[in-house]
Amino acid sequence: MNFRSRCPHDLAGGAILAGLGVFVVLQSLSYPLGQVTRMGPGYFPLLAGLLLVLLGGLVFLFTNEEPEEETPLKPRVFATVFGSILAWGVLLEPFGLVPATVALVVIAAFAHPQPHLRRVVITAVILPLMGWGLFIKGLGLPVDAISW
């Protein structure tokens, strides 16, 4: 495989994902893993880290050919995505998982020059429900769904 003709951004992104995954795996090993039927605190981070390593490896190996023109960094995109994550972190405790996730989706939607309203609404309904089902009901995390 000739990596010189591949997009350096994709190669770097894949390597960063895989590196982050290795870090998460190593950190998860310091916690008890438990068993499949009774997972310990290190079980889920281990699986998430392994998934990151796999995804990073796939991105690294199957990168696109180098783009013909350099795409400039768009500050609005960076600011809205970063701002949406920051808003989620700030809003989670006082308002709960559902409102914080809705805020994340709505703010992140403005990273696109023309957000598609139907997609934003569908995502703002489905993602909080999935988070509630997985993290609160499924894993029993001590987070309120909605707290006013």
- CA 25/CA 23 separation, integer angstroms: 5
CA distances from 39 to 5, 31, 47, 101 (A): 44, 11, 11, 26
**pLDDT at residue 96 above 60?**
yes
The answer to whether the CB of 105 falls within 8 A of the CB of 140 is: no
Please give the pLDDT value at position 70: 65
What is the pLDDT confidence band of residue 92, given thresholds at 50, 70 and 90?
very high
Task: For residue 39, give every residue at least 6 positions away whose Cβ sits within 8 Å of its Cβ, in sequence order, or none.
Answer: 33
What is the pLDDT confidence band of residue 8, given thresholds at 50, 70 and 90?
confident
Model pLDDT for residues 117-136, shown as the tens digit of each residue? 999 999 999 999 999 998 88
What is the pLDDT confidence band of residue 62, given thresholds at 50, 70 and 90?
confident
- CA 33/CA 39 separation, integer angstroms: 6
- CA 140/CA 134 separation, integer angstroms: 8
Higher pLDDT, 126 or 72: 126
Question: pTM of the predicted model, to two decimals?
Answer: 0.62
- CA 89/CA 87 separation, integer angstroms: 5
- CA 63/CA 84 separation, integer angstroms: 28
